[in-house]
């Protein structure tokens, strides 16, 4: 074989090797992502969701866009997001809601933090939420107060969040806690307090409790994860649907009550 033929042979072999490497690597990545999606109780971020909603997470809405919205809370808001890529999770009601093109909100950021109490949420409100200057914030807090710090002044903390958000010209929308199978009565009692506070302060409130809970205050079958604390994928979708419905009514009511020409 002459030198030219040898170089061509080596180059062709190199291209075939590179092609095989790319194919094997792609198949391996697909297998991992697909396997993760199918593991019962495992991380709920799926390859399909990441592809379908990629623009939501890689190109979030500008904070000054119409209905620019931040989700704020604990792991119920966060969901089991991908810790490596920080992309969204299908058991996060906020990611499901924010990445639905028909939801009526524009996704800015999911600022849920696992394990946060309302006191910890209050401590990071300025840096994690107000600094983003969104138009509105969906807040769910109190589950970890019940689980870890029952003596915290939960309602006072929620009220201070509300005052600071309103002072920053950000509309707060609070939510009732979803069920907690291990602390059903405590959750029900705190939700009653949140409801009374919201009425007193004229705070917009979304009821996530009622559609997810049974008569005993536990998750309805299929709507909670095995830990009895977090909503399942189906439960998160129910929460997103409820939020979408309430927010649509709220926007319509706000528009209807606005002065003519505004």
Alpha-carbon distance of 156 to 152, in angstroms, equals 9
What sign for the dihedral angle of Cα 210, 214, 216, 221?
A: negative
| Cβ–Cβ < 8 Å for 206, 66 | no
**What pLDDT score was predicted for residue 28?**
47
pLDDT digits (tens, 9 = 90+) for 181-221: 999 999 999 999 999 999 999 999 999 999 999 999 999 99
Q: To the nearest 10°, the Cα dihedral for 110, 112, 113, 118?
A: 150
Integer CA distances (angstroms), 116 to 32, 82, 132, 140, 189, in order:
30, 18, 20, 11, 20
Residues 196 and 200: their CA atoms lie apart, in Å, by: 6
Q: What is the pTM of this model?
A: 0.76
DSSP class per residue in 4-17: HHHHHHHHHHHHHH
From CA 152, how far away is CA 142, in angstroms rounded? 9
pLDDT in tens, 152-187: 999 999 999 999 999 999 999 999 999 999 999 999
Q: What is 54-256's CATH topology?
A: Rossmann fold (3.40.50)
Sequence spans of domains, the chain: 54-256
Residue with tokens 């059903």: 184
């Amino acid at each position: 074989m002459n030198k030219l033929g040898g170089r061509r042979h080596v180059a062709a072999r190199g291209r075939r090797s590179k092609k095989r490497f790319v194919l094997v690597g792609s198949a391996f990545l697909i297998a991992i992502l697909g396997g993760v999606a199918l593991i019962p109780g495992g991380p709920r971020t799926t390859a399909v969701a990441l592809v379908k909603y990629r623009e939501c997470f890689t190109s979030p809405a500008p904070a000054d866009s119409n209905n620019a919205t931040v989700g704020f809370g604990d792991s119920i808001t966060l969901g089991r997001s991908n810790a490596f890529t920080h992309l969204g999770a299908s058991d996060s009601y906020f990611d499901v809601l924010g990445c639905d093109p028909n939801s009526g909100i524009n996704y800015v950021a999911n600022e849920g933090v696992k394990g946060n109490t309302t006191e910890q949420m209050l401590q990071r409100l300025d840096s994690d939420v107000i600094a983003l200057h969104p138009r509105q914030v969906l807040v769910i807090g109190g589950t970890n107060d019940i689980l870890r710090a029952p003596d915290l002044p939960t309602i006072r903390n929620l009220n201070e969040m509300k005052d600071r958000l309103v002072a920053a010209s950000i509309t707060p929308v609070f939510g009732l806690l979803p069920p907690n199978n291990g602390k059903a009565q405590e959750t029900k009692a705190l939700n009653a307090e949140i409801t009374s506070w919201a009425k007193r302060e004229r705070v917009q409130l979304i009821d996530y409790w009622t559609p997810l809970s049974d008569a005993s205050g536990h998750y309805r079958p299929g709507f909670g994860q095995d830990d009895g604390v977090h909503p399942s994928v189906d439960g998160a979708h129910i929460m997103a649907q409820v939020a979408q419905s309430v927010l649509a009514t709220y926007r319509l009511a706000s528009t209807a009550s606005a002065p003519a020409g505004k």
